[in-house]
């Protein structure tokens, strides 16, 4: 049973970035608060489980680590034709396909990153400007934003389902 990519096409959602140093510091604080090695391992597994549930559902309430001070992004769902256009752009690029595709997906699906004054131009986010501004952290940030855009685009009803999902508007 395939998911309809167009279910969330054009809708947007605000999400915390788990690669944010403040989030990672919160995770470290949770781990160091555990009293012994066994408790730390239990907490590590719990954190991994929370992050996996968040990655699948994009529901920030799955995370017990505080996210109020964490950098957030606003992403929009992509339609199947937008993903196809990103694939075509990546195929035509002289760059390696995986990186070119990730950048093309991000350009189409990223709306805003907290703390950066970059704006979409012609319906595209200026990915190279964000990469330059972020510097060495770009590869981790790219991977997370790319995954979030694709996951949000895929969330929704299956092809065999008849109900329409609720709006995923920005928070």
In a domain, 169, yes or no: no
pLDDT band at 122 (very low <50, low <70, confident <90, very high): very high
**Rounded CA gap, 108 and 86, in Å?**
8
Per the structure, the count of domains in the chain is 2
Asked if 78 and 152 sit in the same domain, the reply is yes
pLDDT band at 125 (very low <50, low <70, confident <90, very high): very high
Range of the domain at 64: 21-68
Asked if 102 and 141 sit in the same domain, the reply is yes
Q: Considering the entire predicted model, what is its pTM?
A: 0.83
In a domain, 167, yes or no: no
In a domain, 165, yes or no: no
Asked if 84 and 10 sit in the same domain, the reply is yes
Give the side-chain half-sphere CA count within 13 A for 111.
17
Asked if 11 and 57 sit in the same domain, the reply is no
In a domain, 31, yes or no: yes
């Amino acid at each position: 049973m395939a998911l309809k990519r167009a279910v969330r096409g054009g809708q947007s959602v605000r999400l915390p970035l788990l690669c944010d140093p403040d989030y990672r510091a919160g995770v470290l604080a949770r781990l160091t608060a555990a009293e012994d090695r066994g408790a730390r391992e239990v907490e590590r597994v719990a954190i991994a489980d929370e992050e996996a549930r968040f990655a699948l559902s994009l529901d920030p309430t799955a995370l017990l680590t505080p996210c109020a001070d964490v950098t957030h992004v606003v992403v929009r769902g992509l339609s199947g034709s937008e993903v196809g256009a990103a694939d075509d752009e990546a195929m035509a690029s002289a760059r390696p396909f995986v990186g070119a595709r990730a950048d093309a997906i991000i350009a189409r699906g990223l709306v805003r990153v907290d703390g950066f004054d970059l704006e979409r131009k012609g319906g595209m986010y200026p990915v190279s400007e964000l990469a330059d501004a972020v510097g060495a952290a770009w590869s981790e940030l790219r991977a997370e934003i790319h995954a979030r855009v694709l996951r949000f685009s895929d969330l929704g009803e299956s092809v065999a389902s008849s109900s329409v999902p609720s709006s995923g508007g920005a928070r």
